[in-house]
Chains A and B, each alone.
Chain A
Amino acid sequence: MPEVRFDRVEKRYGHRPVIRDFSLTIREGEFFTLVGPSGCGKSTVLNLVAGLEPVTSGEIYFGDRPVTYLSPKERDIAMVFQSYALYPHKTVFENLAFPLRLRRVPQGALQGEVQQVASLLGLAGLLAKKPAELSGGERQRVALGRALIREPQVFLMDEPLSNLDAQLRVQTRAEIKRLHARLKTTTLYVTHDQEEALSLSDRIAVLNKGAIQQIGTPMDIYRCPSNTFVAKFIGSPQINLVPGRLHPGPPAHLDVGPVQVALVRDPALQADSPTPANSLDVLVGIRAEDVLIQGTPESLPGHSASVVDREPAGARSWVTLRWGSAEIRAEASSDFLMPQNHSVGVAINTERLHVFDAASGARLPWIALPPKRQHGYK
């Protein structure tokens, strides 16, 4: 089970670039997810790995073996399609057996392997049926089984869950995760659902318009989005992006909404960019769970906001607040019942705020000064 490596892969349809300067290494046995909005090129990447479409330039390697110009068969990959793509004229048994028949697996071994995969996925009772007689969830499992059966080098999944209803989706997601933990096959998974990506993956690449925006573990990407696109795409509800102004100082500080936050250079990012001489417009990313509603405005002077709207969501509520000139979303407990226009106190968990260049959207290497030292500046 090799790693999968893309070396500056490009794909154009005519003159329209779909994938640009795509370099990426998926480690051996890793569950790697490509996530992005529809039309970002993520399915095209899958087709390039599968050999269903030729690359325009660049190379793809499985381990040390270049596979760029090999046929799908020679690449030894398996793929689960969004539409499942079961063969309608074949029974479940024949659907599962098809990849083995093409490899001339002898009848006895074939029977055994089909039975084994069928029992692994709970399909044993369905082997004689045609795909048309199955429910959506069953079809999905047959598609999974057909991909699993010959122990491929690389496992490709193209939005395999998006045709399932919500409940079944969560259930199958857990099943896929368990299967991967057991089989440890290098897996490239494509989805537009950021929640799916966060919950399944070892690592994620966020794609937009054919270009990689960020690669990292789910936590990296959630905690430290590299630009406003990633910040907005990952996380639900969407991150608050509040216009602010960064003053490089010294002392460096940030005006956002009605508050001022002291900043330091982020030690985690290399500070190769020079400190700007003048103050500049920024977008400040604040996740809803980092906006804390605390009692009355009097208890936190200068940190007041008024309630615009409430959306109860079971265990918690999402509250939209007017905060200075901006509107932000906050997470509140489900018993938050303040009416519209009511004033509340708001505290921002400044340690978790993100500063982006307003013009380019790129993350700026500044973080809030830890709270203890924050006081020293006041």
Chain B
Amino acid sequence: MTARPGRDIVSRLLLVLVLVWTLSPLLWQGITSLKPDSELMQLSPLLPSHPTLAHYRALFEHQPFHRIMLNSFGIAALTAMTALVVGALAAFPLARLPVRGKLLMLGFVLGATMFPAILTVGPLFMFMRVLGLRDTWWAVLVSHTTFALPLTIWMLANFFRELPEDLYRAARVDGCSPWQAFTRILLPLSRPGLTAAGVLAFIFSWTEFLYAFTFTATEASRTVPVAIVLFPGLHEIRWGEIAAASVVVTVPVIVLVLVFHRHIVQGLTAGALKG
């Protein structure tokens, strides 16, 4: 951080470049969402001459967008919670208990993430149809959870392993069963890891498209990304509303990351630094 002004300037320039690269599409969507219909397809003016919230209003008036938001939020929150509960329960023995074939199991967990989603969509669709779960929260929730779970298990297993082993051993000697040592010592100390894993699972589910698109049919379970693609437009593509919807979807994610960013970084870099 000190001296080397030349280097400092270069790194700042690179930073600006990356920011422009990643943020400009978002900015563009933001600008588009505020433009009146007449200016949508024109490059000048770059900024809307009469900023309008009409698209946002349309979003919530012309369609059941609240319902769709609720679907997305509910499914993402439940996915995060399920992934955390199941993930923590799976990660703890993999990290701390003498389990045979640990490495093999972790290998399988990692292997599961390597299938492209498109491969499993077909079988899962049949599965959902047989169980009568099509177009319910369950269908999306289950598929999202199975997909979020491997990452959660890996992250949490790593996090638990990075907690000093002596803490677990001390808890056992003090009279804890493995379960008590887990719930009373390991879990409270794992807040950063749990937060990071939870937020990532939430974001995954919130933005996931393929499963949600395949398993939903109506606004009973449709999620935001699907809804954006399916915006009815008979004679035109309603770019304004699409842009408005994109903004509405992105804001919660940004808020989430801003609130938890310290935890997320701590959780993702577990063990990199001695705390």
Contact = CB atoms under 8 A, between A and B. Distances in A.
A205 interface: no
Contacts, number: 55
A interface bracket (residues with beta carbon within 8 Å of B): 20 to 34
Nearest to A50: B173
Contacts of B188: 89
Nearest to B178: A71
Given A85-B166, A88-B189, A72 B173 contact: yes
B102 interface: no
Interface in B163-185: 164, 166-167, 169-177, 180, 185
A79 B177 contact: no
A85 B177 contact: no
Given A73-B177, A89-B188, A102-B180, A52 B172 contact: yes
Interface in B151-170: 164, 166-167, 169-170
B180 A83 contact: no
B189 A89 contact: yes
A250 to B, nearest CB: 59
A103 B177 CA distance: 12
A83 B274 CA distance: 14
Contacts of A102: 174-176, 180
Contacts of A156: 173
B190 to A, nearest CB: 10
B164 A79 contact: no
Interface in A73-109: 73, 77-79, 81-85, 87-89, 98-99, 102-103
Contacts of B189: 87-89
A103 B172 CA distance: 13
B175 A79 contact: no
B182 to A, nearest CB: 13
Contact of B173 (A77, A87, A88): A77
A244 to B, nearest CB: 47
A11 interface: no
Nearest to B188: A89
Nearest to A74: B175
A102 B174 CA distance: 8
Contacts of A79: 169-170, 173
A71 B170 CA distance: 13
Contacts of A363: none
B97 to A, nearest CB: 12
Nearest to B175: A102
B245 to A, nearest CB: 42
Most buried by A among B166, B172, B173, B177: B173
Contact of A103 (B167, B175, B185): B175
Contact of B169 (A81, A99, A103): A81
A98 B174 contact: yes
Contact of B164 (A52, A78, A85): A85
A52 B185 contact: no
Nearest to B166: A85
Interface in A26-55: 47, 50-52
Contacts of B174: 78, 98-99, 102, 146
B273 to A, nearest CB: 15
Interface in A241-280: none
Contacts of B166: 81-85
A131 to B, nearest CB: 11
Contact of A73 (B164, B167, B169, B175): B175
Interface string A230-249: 00000000000000000000
A52 B169 CA distance: 7
A87 B175 CA distance: 14
A84 to B, nearest CB: 8
A73 B172 contact: yes
Nearest to B172: A72
A51 B175 CA distance: 11
A196 B34 CA distance: 76
Given A88-B189, A89-B189, A73 B176 contact: yes
B172 A85 contact: no
A71 B177 contact: yes
Contacts of A83: 164, 166
B170 A81 contact: yes
A81 B172 CA distance: 13
A72 B164 CA distance: 19
A85 B180 contact: no
B39 to A, nearest CB: 56
A144 B238 CA distance: 70
Contacts of B170: 79, 81, 85, 87, 146
25 contacts: A50-B172, A50-B173, A52-B173, A71-B177, A72-B175, A73-B175, A73-B177, A78-B173, A78-B174, A79-B173, A81-B166, A83-B166, A84-B166, A85-B167, A85-B169, A85-B170, A87-B170, A87-B171, A87-B185, A98-B171, A99-B175, A102-B174, A102-B176, A103-B175, A146-B170
Given A89-B189, A146-B174, 17 more contacts: A50-B172, A52-B169, A71-B177, A72-B172, A72-B175, A73-B172, A73-B177, A77-B173, A79-B169, A79-B170, A81-B166, A83-B164, A83-B166, A85-B169, A85-B170, A88-B189, A102-B176
Interface of B: 164, 166-167, 169-177, 180, 185, 188-189
